């Protein structure tokens, strides 16, 4: 059409007539845009989605991520009573800036953290009345009012978070809608959705509709796909995972009075980063060695706890912005150590007595001396780390280790100080 007009102007004998034709075409184009919407020409177009309505486009003046604040003209939709359509804004879920939020009635977001609100790129238009008039038209936009990181819950031993949704209407303080909006949540990384991953929101504004999510083993971030009727393949968003410190040992009881030492494993959960942080380990009773380690996010570290006295010990690990679980370990009186060290000393002393070519006059005196030497040797080895024999032993603490070391020291005697 444009080429034909140009040809007429170029070859025609009446220039004034050609100029008049060009002006009429230009005016008709402007009128067509004004009929669609009383706004300026858009930087992009947005689609109307409704199976019962013909497909067409309206112009968008503002690309703000809370589009319901813009002055859209929906008169040409001609919605029937209790009929609904959706405007697809052709973008992703995005955070709503504070400047935009401040333009909304504060009562609509009472008790909601305005720093953590994300909008869906959809405008839902519904005629809720019986007359079908423009006055009965409701415009709302789904938003997420909570998209917080997943944090570790020690009670359930899982990472948890809560997603909160509401249908935001700047013109309606509350009220039901004729067609509840379905939302589905999908993720290959989450273990549980409570109450369900399938929602139907049937009211405007507060209260939010909440879904609690949880996962046992996640790292760094969790991908979630949010499916709506306007976006059947879903919007993809991510929840950050907050790493947590974990202090672990299988031992719940130790031989007290400094007799026993056990390893403790210190790890980060929820991160695969090769970065590290300095972590401090503290205990209400006993000695932790070392009490400070450079802990990588993807590698465990081992520290050792030695008992002290009798009673319960509480252990925790902490660093900037994170604190571990609390370990409770009971230091008990070392009856087992005493029994096996004395038994080992008795056996070693008896064996020594019968191997001597010149036996002492008193077996009892020899036995008491052997018991004493065996107990002293076991104490020196397990408590002070001093080996009184020129024999290498395993550092593993158990009943037979105590028994064997005590017997050997009673038999061979003290070889070095």
Per-residue pLDDT tens digits for 374-391:
888 888 887 777 777 766
Q: Which of 120-134, 159-173, 200-214, 300-314 has the lowest mean pLDDT?
A: 120-134
DSSP string, 285-329: SSEEESSEEEEETTS-EEEEEE--SSEEEEEEEEETTEE---EEE
Average pLDDT over residues 166-186: 85
Choose between 55 and 188: higher pLDDT: 188
The pLDDT of residue 291? 95
Give 101's pLDDT tier (boundaries 50, 70, 90): confident
Radius of gyration of the chain measured on its C-alpha atoms: 39
pTM > 0.75: no
Our CA angle for 321, 324, 326, nearest 5°, is 140
Q: Alpha helix locations (H) across 50-118?
A: 98-101
How large is the average pLDDT for residues 43-60? 40
Question: In this predicted model, what pLDDT tens digit does every residue of 191-242 receive, in sequence order?
Answer: 999 999 999 999 998 889 999 999 999 999 999 999 999 899 999 999 999 9
Give the residue with greater pLDDT, 86 vs 299: 299
Whole-number pLDDT of residue 173 = 64
* Higher pLDDT, residue 326 or 138: 326
User: CA–CA separation, 176 vs 161, rounded Å?
Assistant: 27
Q: Is the pLDDT confidence value at 13 over 70? A: no
- Residue 237 CA to residue 185 CA, distance in Å, equals 11
Ranked by mean pLDDT, which of 40-49, 58-67, 100-109 comes out on top? 100-109
For 54-64, what is the mean pLDDT? 41
How far is 3 from 16, CA to CA, in rounded Å?
18
Grade residue 393 by pLDDT with cuts at 50, 70 and 90.
low
Task: Report the range of poorest mean pLDDT among 16-30, 62-76, 123-137.
Answer: 16-30
Token pair for residue 358? 């010149």
**Which pLDDT score is estimated for 309?**
94
Classify residue 14 as exposed, middle or buried by CB count within 10 Å of its CB (0-12, 13-18, 19+): exposed
Residue 69 binned pLDDT confidence (cut-offs 50, 70, 90): low
Query: Is 3 buried (19+), middle (13-18) or exposed (0-12) by CB count in 10 A?
Result: exposed
Give the alpha-carbon dihedral of 314, 319, 321, 325, to 10 degrees: -30
Percent above pLDDT 90 for the chain: 40
The whole-angstrom separation of Cα 305 and Cα 266 is 12
Q: What's residue 390's pLDDT?
A: 67
């Amino acid at each position: 059409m444009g080429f034909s007009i140009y040809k007429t102007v170029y070859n025609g004998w009446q220039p004034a007539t050609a100029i008049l034709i060009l002006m009429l075409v230009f005016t008709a184009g402007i009128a067509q845009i004004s009929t669609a919407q009383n706004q300026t020409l858009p930087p992009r177009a947005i689609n109307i989605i409704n199976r019962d309505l013909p497909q067409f486009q309206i112009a968008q003046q503002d690309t703000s991520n809370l589009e319901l604040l813009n002055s859209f003209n929906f008169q040409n939709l001609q919605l029937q009573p209790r009929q609904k359509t959706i405007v697809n804004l052709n973008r992703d879920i995005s955070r709503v800036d504070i400047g935009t939020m401040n333009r909304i009635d504060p009562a609509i977001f009472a008790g909601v953290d305005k720093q953590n609100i994300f909008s869906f790129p959809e405008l839902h238009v519904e005629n809720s009345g019986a007359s079908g008039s423009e006055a009965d038209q409701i415009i709302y936009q789904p938003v997420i009012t909570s998209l917080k990181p997943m944090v570790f819950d020690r009670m359930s031993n899982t990472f948890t978070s809560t997603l909160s949704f509401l249908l935001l209407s700047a013109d309606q303080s509350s009220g039901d809608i004729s067609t509840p909006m379905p939302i589905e949540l999908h993720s290959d990384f989450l273990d549980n959705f409570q109450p369900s991953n399938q929602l139907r929101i049937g009211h405007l504004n507060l209260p939010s509709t909440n879904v609690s999510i949880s996962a046992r083993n996640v790292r760094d971030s969790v991908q979630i796909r949010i499916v709506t009727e306007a976006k059947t393949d879903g919007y993809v968003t991510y929840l950050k995972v907050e790493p947590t410190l974990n202090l672990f040992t299988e031992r719940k009881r130790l031989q007290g009075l400094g007799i026993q030492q056990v390893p403790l494993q210190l790890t980060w959960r929820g991160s695969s980063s090769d970065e590290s942080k300095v972590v401090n380990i503290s205990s209400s009773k006993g000695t932790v060695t070392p009490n400070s380690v450079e802990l990588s996010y993807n590698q465990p570290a081992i520290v050792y706890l030695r008992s002290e006295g009798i009673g319960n010990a509480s252990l925790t690990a902490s660093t900037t912005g994170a604190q571990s679980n609390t370990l409770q370990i009971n230091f008990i009186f070392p009856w087992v150590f005493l029994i096996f060290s004395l038994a080992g000393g008795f056996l070693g002393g008896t064996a020594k007595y019968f191997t001597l070519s010149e036996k002492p006059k008193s077996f009892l005196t020899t036995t008491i001396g052997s018991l004493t030497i065996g107990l002293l040797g076991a104490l020196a080895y397990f408590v002070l780390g001093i080996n009184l024999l020129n024999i290498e032993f395993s550092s593993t603490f158990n009943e037979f280790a105590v028994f064997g070391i005590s017997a050997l020291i009673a038999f061979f005697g003290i070889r070095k100080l």
